[in-house]
């Protein structure tokens, strides 16, 4: 089975790197020439990756077609190519509905699989939300880490909204580092402390699937202690409300 990628940007590069890691998860990949630098880099790095002369050539060569274009140009790019009926189409185009994709590609909307791969797939550590359930897509993203199969479009949209929290996570690290630096600590020392601290908390959550996040928060909060105080201030001074409003606004954009 040949996998074809329309679009050769950051997510394509991450997915190809993960799929071509040892041992390769797919036999052959064809990428579009749109981003010539990335496409050439991938072909030079992996013997099983080829650069097609055009987007249509990718379609013609691929048994599974991955649409990985920026949403701003998706309509323009997709309306220029002809995708045969029955071709497996997986879209990783952000915030672009099945209905829009169906119009632009001429495919049945129920046959198009949408997915949200994150940059970690390059190391086969990604968790990818996908909808609708599809054996080929589950196999593909399972090889890149793990796949979370959504049972409805609403469920998929909710996970799409949550995936937008990556920058906020690093923003919290950034602001915390700036606070420490403002108190006289070097930023390098602050980072050397914060990175393993947050990483260890993630490991605790992974090992404690039987506990809710609320239970873990309480377990890491001594009654009357500092952790309890900080979360209480965060919650009561508007932190939770601001995060909820931000997620609601992202969800509105995704559903539009």
Q: Return the domain boundaries, the chain.
A: 2-151, 164-255
Is the full-model pTM beyond 0.85?
yes
Q: Give tens-digit pLDDT for 20-49.
A: 999 999 999 999 998 899 999 999 999 999
Q: Check pLDDT > 90 for residue 256.
A: no
Tell me if the domain spanning 2-151 has CATH number 3.40.50.720: yes
70 Cβ contact list (under 8 Å, min separation 6): 7, 9, 93
Q: Supply the DSSP string of 75-119, one letter for each residue.
A: HHHHTTS---TT-EEEE--TT--HHHHHHHHT--GGG-EEEE--G
Say how far apart CA 8 and CA 12 lie, in whole Å.
Answer: 5
What's the topology of domain 164-255? ProC C-terminal domain-like fold (1.10.3730)
- The pLDDT confidence band at residue 87, using thresholds 50, 70 and 90, is very high
Rounded Cα distance, 246 and 254, in Å = 13
**Which pLDDT belongs to residue 152?**
96
pLDDT, average across residues 168-182: 98
- Both structure tokens of 159: 């996970």
């Amino acid at each position: 089975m040949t996998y074809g990628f329309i679009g050769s940007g950051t997510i394509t590069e991450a997915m190809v790197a993960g799929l071509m890691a040892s041992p390769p998860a797919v036999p052959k990949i064809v990428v579009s020439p749109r981003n010539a630098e990335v496409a050439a880099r991938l072909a030079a790095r992996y013997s099983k990756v080829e650069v097609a002369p055009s987007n249509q050539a990718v379609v013609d060569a691929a048994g599974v077609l991955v649409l990985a274009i920026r949403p701003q140009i998706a309509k323009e790019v997709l309306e220029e190519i002809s995708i045969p009926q029955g071709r497996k189409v997986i879209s990783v185009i952000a915030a672009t509905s099945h209905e829009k994709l169906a119009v632009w590609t001429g495919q049945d909307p129920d046959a198009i699989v949408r997915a949200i791969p994150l940059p970690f797939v390059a190391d086969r550590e990604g968790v990818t939300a996908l909808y609708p359930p599809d054996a080929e897509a589950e196999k593909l993203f399972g090889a890149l880490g793990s796949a979370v199969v959504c049972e409805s479009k609403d469920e998929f949209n909710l996970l799409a909204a949550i995936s937008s929290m990556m920058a906020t996570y690093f923003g919290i690290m950034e602001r915390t580092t700036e606070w420490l630096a403002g108190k006289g600590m070097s930023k390098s020392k602050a980072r050397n402390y914060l990175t393993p601290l947050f990483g260890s908390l993630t490991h605790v959550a992974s090992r404690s699937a039987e506990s809710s996040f609320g239970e873990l928060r309480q377990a890491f909060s001594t009654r009357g202690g500092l952790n309890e105080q900080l979360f209480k201030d965060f919650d009561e001074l508007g932190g939770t409300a601001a995060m909820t409003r931000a997620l609601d606004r992202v969800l509105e954009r995704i559903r539009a």
